[in-house]
Amino acid sequence: MNAPRPLIGVTLDSEPPTPGGYSGFPWYAIRQNYMDMIAACGGLPVALGHEPELAVELVARLDGLVVTGGAFDVPPDLYGGGEWHATVQTKPRRTLAETALIRAAMARGIPVLGICGGMQLLAVVLGGQLVQHIPDTYPASLAHEQPNPRNEAGHDVHVVPGTHLARLVGQDRLAVNSAHHQAVSDPGRAVVCATAPDGVVEAIELPGYPLCIGVQWHPEFGISAGDHLLFNGLIDAARQTGT
């Protein structure tokens, strides 16, 4: 008899009412490929709404957590970032809920994967800091908001040898897609496990934890074998949690 699929919570994005659009009332959103990738790698994905007061109860039923990305930023107030850059846009309730979910997941010791904005929030929860706008800090930076489609590679990243990420993907270089204007400047209690050629941090992980990894790209698109191996690693770790 096959073992049950581990239950993987996936955070949702939120959108305001859009008269004439999807709904005239507030609505949740997620790209289908987040769920598809988790299911393809052996997990059972379930969507998580933005109820921070229910985070502990929700996480008690999960075997793993994926904190997704979105077109918004972590409020600089949460990491002592000083004056807000003009480009910063926030979704306070989403951030509050995802923060509560990350903390609850780590208190339980279940695997956590942060993707793009989810990596940035993970770094902040771990005591880190962010660059509010990459071009201001890295004048010669790559196009981290790549002009080509998201299901294509935008640049390569160097994977730090000996890290958990390196063991999962089995490579020291990955082609990744890229859609972010902010980045991690200080990973806090985490360590950097991948960087872009321009020095921008592309992945972090928490040593000594079953699996706690944040990646700045969008592996749910599965543009490389490494993307699939990362999700396989998440599901394998979650399976151990559920046993």
Residues belonging to the active site: 116, 218, 220
Q: Which two tokens stand for residue 107?
A: 């208190």
Q: Are 213 and 203 in contact (CB under 8 A)?
A: yes
Distance CA 242, CA 99 (A): 23
Q: Name the β-bridge partners of 157.
A: 174
Distance CA 43, CA 65 (A): 11
Q: Are 26 and 16 in contact (CB under 8 A)?
A: yes
- The residue length of the chain stands at 243
Contacts of 119 (CB under 8 A, 6+ apart): 184, 203, 204, 214, 215, 216
Q: For tokens 């279940």, name the residue.
A: 110
Distance CA 154, CA 157 (A): 10
User: One-letter amino acid identity for 175?
Assistant: A
User: One-letter amino acid identity for 166?
Assistant: A
Q: Which helix (H) or strand (E) covers residue 121, if one does?
A: helix 117-125
Q: Are 202 and 217 in contact (CB under 8 A)?
A: yes
Gyration radius of the chain over CA positions: 17
